[in-house]
Amino acid sequence: MAEKRDYYEVLGVDKNADDSAIKRAYRKLAKQYHPDSNPGDESAAEKFREASEAYAVLSDPEKRKAYDTYGHAAFDPNSAAGASSGFGGFDFSGMDMGDIFSEFFGGGFGSSYGSSRRRSNMPEKGANIRVGLRISFDEAIKGVKKTIKIRYKDTCKTCNGSGAKPGTERQTCPRCNGAGQVRMTQQSIFGTIQQVTTCPECHGEGTVVKEKCPDCRGEGYINTEKSMEIAIPAGIDDGQAIRKSGGGDPGRNGGPRGDLLVEVSVSDHPFFKRQGVNIYSTEAISFPKATLGGSTIVKTVDGPVELKIAPGTQSDTRTRLRGKGVPSLQNPNVRGDHYVTLVVETPKKLNKKQKEALKAYAEACGEKVD
């Protein structure tokens, strides 16, 4: 059996730490390693148990004094130290761990230690439905309406959502007597622990169905498919989602429906790149135009635009087209800019006349070319 670590080391505190420092250290570890935050992670569960055991000792003045004197032997019923300290092992009989975790977390964890006691009969919002939607680059810039199909849970019309066969009613749960929760006693590393959990019979609802509705089989809802039109706002970006409140699955115990989340994927554009509300593109210009100046037609999301070229423009010069970028989601009347990088293009093939003209230019510059 592995040797137990020092309790102060487990919590990461000094041996002179006061009660508040010990409590803060345990709170941090308990949140990090709680089983509800790490489902199926045995390593996290072990660290959680280790931290809880350390806190159970160091937060109790008498147990802490015994531990400081005898170490882990203070709680070994087979050791002389355990006998002299008065602690023959841990005894947490009758202690409701739910109350301890209420103090720390306010019921923030789902299935363990008392959070179910406060939430078992409470209305719960239904699950969200997530749907993926791919749109084009131009649709993301300008906005678009799309029709999507979703599968969701609709209230059963036969039983009106009760889950009971027509002519019958839901009955009080015989296991929890309608409380939606049961108190269970179990053995743990601490000894005997009382734990309040959601009733496994009625799943916290307080009522059960004896004769199930033949259409929904007692669920109270049926799976169905429907089409829905979604307005995609101008300026939406790749990875963003549109939330439609109440478009998800039904809640429990009278709780509201969840939401519909439409997660948008935007296809790449062959010419444009987007960064936030700005658009970037590259435009090739000829050497004579870069040298002498002129104009060129560039593509934008609003269509072709004439761009003035200043004489002596160097390759990789960037120019800005104000207000030709992406509309802001917060204010559609405000748009980003379009940045065009001008690249001077070197011709790969020249005819005889072009070669002679270019040689004449080189000679005029004092350069010798073949």
- For the chain, what's the residue count? 370
Token representation of residue 361: 């230019």
Taking the CB of residue 42, how many other CB atoms lie within 10 A of it? 9
Q: Are 257 and 248 in contact (CB under 8 A)?
A: yes
Task: Provide the token pair at 90.
Answer: 């841990």
Q: Which two tokens stand for residue 320?
A: 């800005």
Residue 281 CA to residue 44 CA, distance in Å, equals: 50
What are the angstrom distances between the C-alpha of 112 and each of 36, 97, 119, 285?
7, 9, 12, 68
Q: Answer yes or no: is 199 a known binding residue.
A: yes
The residues facing 223 across adjacent strands are 153
Whether 365 has a binding-site annotation, put simply, is no
Cβ atoms of 342 and 285 within 8 Å: the answer is yes
Exposure of 329 by Cβ count < 10 A (0-12 exposed, 13-18 middle, 19+ buried)? middle
Q: Report d(CA 252, CA 257) in Å as an integer.
A: 9
Residue numbers belonging to the annotated binding site for Zn(2+): 156, 159, 173, 176, 199, 202, 213, 216
Residues making up the binding site: 156, 159, 173, 176, 199, 202, 213, 216
